[in-house]
Amino acid sequence: MEIEGYNFPEGLYYEKNHFWARVEGDLVVMGMNDYAQLMSGEVVYVALPPIGKKLTQGKSFAKVESGKWLGKIYAVVSGELVEVNEELEENAKLINDDPFGKGWMFKIKPDNMDELDNLMTDPEEIRKWLKAE
């Protein structure tokens, strides 16, 4: 779906620090949303934390850098980091080129899938949040 000119694919969860989440089996895949990747400009670097790192929903655990800024990456759910997109080490621009596909960032084994309920899915809620940004 398009909201305020930005792509917010249906079936994903969105959090207020500009990251998305998608359930794949018992894992949650996360990445940067369309608004964030467009506003940041070309992403040039993503800090890939070690596998096994414990994450807490809403807390920063990594950094992302573009030509314009250095930003924090916030966990969409609490749990264990089980996979990182190693392609981003060589080509961080994948986040700009395909933020919901090849530009995914991390896979998390969540402690509690119910935490996804804290994220946004309703287009009207996303629209209001985006306008406030």
What would the pLDDT profile of 100-111 be if each residue is shown by its tens digit? 999 999 999 999
CA distance 75 to 81: 10
- Beta carbons within 10 angstroms of residue 61's beta carbon: 17
Residues 6+ apart with CB under 8 A from 125: none
CA distance 65 to 71: 6
State the amino acid at position 125 in one-letter form: E
What would the pLDDT profile of 41-99 be if each residue is shown by its tens digit? 999 999 999 999 999 999 999 999 998 889 999 999 999 999 999 999 999 999 999 99
